[in-house]
Structure 1
Amino acid sequence: MTRRVELASAVATIKAKRNGGIPRVGQLKLTDKTLYLNVKIKGNAGIVNLVDVNTRREVGITNIDGNKLNAGRDYILDSMRVLVGATGSDDLKNESWVSPWSITGQNSLPKAFLGAEFRINQDRNQLVDMPITDLCQDGFVSSFRSLSTSPLIRSNMEFEMEIEYPKGVSVPVDQEYNIRIEVRAHQAQV
């Protein structure tokens, strides 16, 4: 299936769901899903891969299991956001996740992280490529940033989630920084 056909299918799927019908299109069963990944960014620099073959699903840390989706389960990405840990806890499962703006009234994330770029890649295609600041909306309610292209992560194919920091810049090592990346999606299951 070509990328154009995949995108047309994704758009048709979303339109059908928005029209208030049962979330099915043909043989596809749709489920709302929020993918999440909690990570420590203390001392990060360069390109940091967030998901790889060793990533394991653990409630409270991530609901992503490896870097391939199960057969017959594709994800149509809808929106994203970045949250920050309010406590800097060593245990990511016990962290309180809040808008980066709610701690100090201004964005509390380190400048190196705010200058970085976030990407989701699959099959040598960039599905998402945007500055971290796009994912850290202003205000105390951390709203999701819509993804207008409805990128599709296909099953049985490796995908990557990565952060690229500016050259020569790193997140300070003298303070704990925990972040949570959330991606709202429609799981399309055959």
Structure 2
Amino acid sequence: MNNRKTQLLSAVATLKAKDQGGVPHVGRVALTDKTLYLNVNVKGQGGTIALIDVNTKREVGVTNLDGNRLNAGRDYIIDGVRVLKGTTASANVRSEKYSQTVVLDEALQNAEIRIKQNGNILLDMPMSDISNPSSTNEVFRNISTSPLIQSNMEFEFEIEYPKGVSVPAGADLNIRFEFRAHQAKI
């Protein structure tokens, strides 16, 4: 089992550094281990696609994000990310079975994901960096910079496919993003 004390210390350091941004005292902040997740059907996608927006609704089994703005007083510090691929080609992301041991399609392997907020890029990496089909362990790609998604501010989560390349449109293809995080509640 992966020891997360390093990530917790990083999260605390991030909160201390946020003092100018509105967290009055770290002693008043409650940290909770959390995994943010989002299931999406990427059938036929190409170009740059926003994966979350103001219309995204929290639904158990699909996503635990509600829109593209976090609730007041609840910031998230990300310390790990992974992507899982659906194994059944279901048209419904709710009933899909997701696995990390399945290789992503070429369009997905070569795509990039980004999380942005307030004009800053918080996370920017190729999908191949967060996929580990050769491991049967629950492997998250550690994020050393501990990006902070702040509450009460819109954020963007997007995927950009290589120019002229798209996911095949012939069959449904679902993927699941999981972000290991610390929720900081004031």
Residue identity in the other structure for 1:86: T
Residue identity in the other structure for 2:75: D
Shift of residue 100 of structure 1? 4.0
Find the counterpart in structure 1 of residue 117 from structure 2. Answer: 122
Shift of residue 175 of structure 1? 1.8
Deviation larger for 25-34 or 136-145: 136-145
Structure 1 residues 116-158: Cα deviation after superposition (integer angstroms, max 9, x where no partner): 0000000010000000000102414251000000000000000
What percent identity do the matched residue pairs reach?
58
Find the counterpart in structure 1 of residue 44 from structure 2. Answer: 43
Structure 1: 5+ residue stretches without partners: 1-7, 15-23, 102-106
Find the counterpart in structure 2 of residue 75 from structure 1. Answer: 76
Structure 1 residues 22-54: Cα deviation after superposition (integer angstroms, max 9, x where no partner): xx9410000011000000011000000001000
Q: Verify: 1:59 aligned to 2:60, yes or no.
A: yes
Shift of residue 90 of structure 1? 1.5
Matched ranges for 1:132-143 at <5 A:
132-141=127-136, 142-143=138-139
Distance 1:60 1:138 in 2: 22
Q: Which runs of 4+ in 1 moved over 6 A?
A: none
TM-score, with structure 2 as normaliser: 0.86
Structure 2: 5+ residue stretches without partners: 1-8, 16-24
Q: Verify: 1:176 aligned to 2:165, yes or no.
A: no
Q: Verify: 1:150 aligned to 2:151, yes or no.
A: no
Distance 2:140 2:13 in 1: 22
Indicate conservation of the 8 Å contact 2:10/2:146, yes or no: no
Alignment RMSD (CA, Å): 2.0
Matched ranges for 1:80-99 at <5 A:
80-99=81-100
Structure 1 residues 71-109: Cα deviation after superposition (integer angstroms, max 9, x where no partner): 1100000100000111011221111111143xxxxx2x2
For residue 94 of structure 1, give the secondary structure of its aligned residue in structure 2.
coil
TM-score, with structure 1 as normaliser: 0.84
Count residues with an aligned counterpart.
169
Deviation larger for 39-48 or 140-149: 140-149
Indicate conservation of the 8 Å contact 1:47/1:162, yes or no: yes
Indicate conservation of the 8 Å contact 1:11/1:150, yes or no: no
Structure 1 residues 6-33: Cα deviation after superposition (integer angstroms, max 9, x where no partner): xx9844268xxxxxxxxx9410000011
Indicate conservation of the 8 Å contact 1:13/1:25, yes or no: no
